[in-house]
């Protein structure tokens, strides 16, 4: 399989990406991959596939119309503007996620097909989050049990929810 | 100068042991990206801020946080020579970005080299666990344990909606990149690989050839990894990778069986010729070396070449990279001189097996 960019060297990097709502395949050789990912440090040896992918991201154009240039969207913590972010493909700090949140749903949807994390939560700092998730889960289960008229276990689940909510309130 | 432990051997301790399906899967890797809250990401950190992050993270290790996991050494990148850094890159223990572009970068490496933790690469913390053979879930379990140990000592940048916040939006959420490195010579010989790669990318995985000095995939080695990190749990991501890799393994196995059944003599001729060339060549470039080593490895796995350990391919692929050659022969080389030294290194290596040495 030859590289789709230069058509000369064999392609060694293969992936698909959603472009304008359609799935497209990409097959690049190392040299062309590097060229497209040039804004991003580090190529070769398989560490940098995400770098290349980010080189191909479709960022929303920075700023609104021409009238908004005087107030560029900016992270107040680190000073990075959205326009700089869209050039380098890197956030400056974790607060950038809050300051740019209005534009992120579209971007994340294109990259991941999703916008909300459902995986691991930190062990120590995430105790509250895990309790809240557990309560949500139990509430759904409670509804199911009630719908099935399984009132005995519904009562048990309700007690469990109260217990978790009490502990959450106490911190 | 005394060579550091990691520079003495081309093949990491963990690599010497086979794993499940290790006739096809060379290694499984899980990498987790994490950042500390309240500190700018490395790209925008001042030197002072970067040093603070390095001291917090290496401090946690010095305080014994990882003692249950293994024995770790801490290397500050600025204390390493250029050659040592390149050797670490060639062994895949650090990224070229950490080696060449980091500020206050550090490597926290366990003695078997199966855990390598990068500090101040693109993210504050990159935890990487490597296992021999097909063991992605084992790699994840270990990486996650290490993750928990660090989190006892530091506050992570974590958001309930977006998950672990990373420097690059392609890593946000779980911050996980899981990959399986496979040797697929039979799929390449039968050209089925051209059908399989697009199919694998269609289900959201990335396939990548492994490189040497040039720009071509070397040695029929392919790395398959997840592309998506947000909106799926780690378990879902790993299950998906696991299932797809499992199918690729089965295809490779079937292709090998067919090769043996339908063209045994041709395949035997091919692998034995390559074995002969590696044992006797006086000049060999990295591309040919990788192809011949792949042939020999296939011959070993098919039972056509006895008495040579399968790890020979990986070991020699690393040993014959530029920095490793340079440090072995203790001289700087032109590419032409390298091809001579490479051939010499490979001949010496194979002599051990042919005359019943080590
Ligand atoms: Zn190309
Ligand atoms: Zn910021």
Q: B 128-187 residues with CB below 8 A of A? A: 144, 147-148, 151-152, 155-174, 176-177, 179
Measured between CA atoms, the residue of chain B closest to residue A41 is B97
Pick among B230, B240, B286 to test the A interface (most A CBs inside 10 A): B230
Q: Do B217 and A114 touch (CB under 8 A)?
A: no
A-chain CB neighbours of B223 within 8 Å are 46
Rounded to 5 degrees, what angle do the CA atoms B174, B176, B182 make?
A: 150
Our CA-based measurement puts residue B156 at a distance from the nearest CA of chain A, in whole angstroms, of: 8
Share of chain A above pLDDT 70, in %: 77
Considering every ligand atom, which ligand is closest to the CA of A9? Answer: 1
Of A88, A91, A119, the CB nearest to B163: A119
Phi/psi class of residue B166: alpha, beta or left (left: φ > 0; alpha: ψ in -120 to 50)?
beta
Q: What is the mean pLDDT of residues B237-250?
A: 97
Chain B interface includes A51 (CB < 8 A): yes
pTM: 0.85
Chain B interface includes A117 (CB < 8 A): yes
Of A29, A45, A77, the CB nearest to B89: A45
Long-range contacts of A70-74 (CB under 8 A, 24+ apart): A73/A99, A73/A100, A73/A103, A74/A99
**How do the pLDDT tens digits run along chain A, 171 residues long?**
888 889 998 888 888 876 666 778 888 887 787 776 532 333 333 334 444 454 445 555 444 444 445 578 999 999 999 988 888 889 999 999 999 999 999 889 888 989 999 999 998 888 888 888 889 899 999 999 999 999 999 999 999 999 988 988 876
Q: What is the mean pLDDT of residues B131-150?
A: 96
Q: What's the CA gap between B58 and A34, in Å, rounded?
A: 32
| Strand extents, DSSP E, chain B | 25-34, 72-76, 106-110, 115-119, 125-132, 158-159, 163-164, 176-183, 205-209, 221-226
B325-357 pLDDT, tens digit per residue, is 988 898 889 999 999 999 999 999 998 876 654
Residue B249's pLDDT is 97
ipTM of predicted complex: 0.88
Chain A interface includes B122 (CB < 8 A): yes
Q: Do B230 and A115 touch (CB under 8 A)?
A: yes
């Amino acid at each position: 399989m030859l590289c789709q960019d230069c058509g000369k060297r064999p392609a060694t990097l293969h992936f698909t990406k959603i472009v304008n709502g359609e799935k497209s395949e990409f097959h690049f050789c190392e040299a062309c991959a590097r060229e497209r990912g040039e804004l991003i440090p580090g190529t070769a040896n398989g560490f940098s596939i995400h770098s290349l992918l980010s080189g191909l991201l479709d960022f929303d154009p920075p700023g609104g119309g021409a009238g908004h240039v005087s107030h560029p969207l900016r992270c107040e913590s680190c000073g990075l503007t959205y326009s700089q972010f869209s050039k380098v493909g890197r956030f400056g700090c974790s607060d950038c996620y809050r300051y740019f949140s209005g534009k992120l749903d579209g971007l994340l949807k294109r990259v991941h097909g999703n916008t909300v994390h459902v995986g691991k939560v930190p062990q120590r700092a995430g105790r509250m989050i895990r309790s809240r998730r557990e309560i949500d889960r139990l509430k759904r289960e409670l509804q199911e049990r009630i719908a099935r008229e399984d009132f005995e276990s519904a009562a048990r689940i309700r007690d469990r929810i109260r217990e978790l909510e009490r502990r959450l309130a106490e911190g | 100068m005394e060579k550091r432990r990691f520079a003495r051997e081309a093949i990491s301790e963990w690599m010497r042991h086979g794993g499940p399906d290790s006739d096809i899967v060379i290694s499984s890797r899980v990498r987790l990206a994490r950042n500390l809250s309240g500190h700018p990401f490395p790209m925008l950190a001042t030197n002072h801020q970067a040093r603070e992050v390095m001291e917090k993270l290496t401090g946690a290790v010095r305080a014994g946080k990882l003692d249950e996991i293994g024995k770790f050494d801490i290397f500050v990148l600025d204390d390493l020579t250029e050659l040592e850094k390149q050797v670490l890159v060639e062994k895949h223990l650090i990224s070229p970005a950490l080696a060449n572009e980091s500020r206050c970068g550090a490597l926290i490496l366990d003695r078997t080299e199966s855990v390598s933790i990068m500090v101040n690469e693109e993210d504050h913390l990159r935890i990487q666990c490597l296992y021999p053979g097909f063991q992605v879930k084992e790699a994840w379990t270990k990486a996650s344990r290490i993750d928990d140990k660090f989190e006892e000592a530091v506050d992570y940048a974590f958001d309930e909606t977006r998950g672990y916040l990373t420097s690059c939006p392609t890593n946000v959420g779980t911050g996980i990149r899981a990959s399986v490195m496979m040797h697929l010579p039979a799929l390449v010989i039968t050209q089925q690989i051209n059908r399989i790669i697009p199919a694998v990318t269609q289900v959201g995985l990335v396939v990548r050839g492994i490189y040497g000095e040039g720009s071509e995939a070397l040695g029929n080695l392919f790395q398959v990894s997840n592309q998506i990190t947000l909106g799926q749990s780690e378990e879902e991501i790993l299950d998906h990778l696991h299932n797809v890799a499992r199918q690729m393994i089965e295809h490779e196995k079937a292709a090998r069986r067919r090769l043996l059944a339908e063209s045994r003599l041709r395949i035997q001729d091919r692998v034995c010729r390559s074995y002969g060339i590696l044992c006797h060549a006086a000049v060999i470039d990295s591309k040919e070396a990788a192809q011949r080593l792949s042939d020999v490895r296939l011959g070993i796995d098919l039972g056509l070449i006895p008495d040579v350990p399968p790890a020979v391919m990986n070991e020699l692929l690393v040993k014959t990279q530029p920095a490793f050659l340079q440090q072995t022969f203790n001289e700087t080389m032109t590419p032409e001189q390298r091809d001579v030294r490479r051939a010499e290194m490979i001949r010496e290596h194979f002599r051990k097996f042919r005359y019943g040495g080590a």
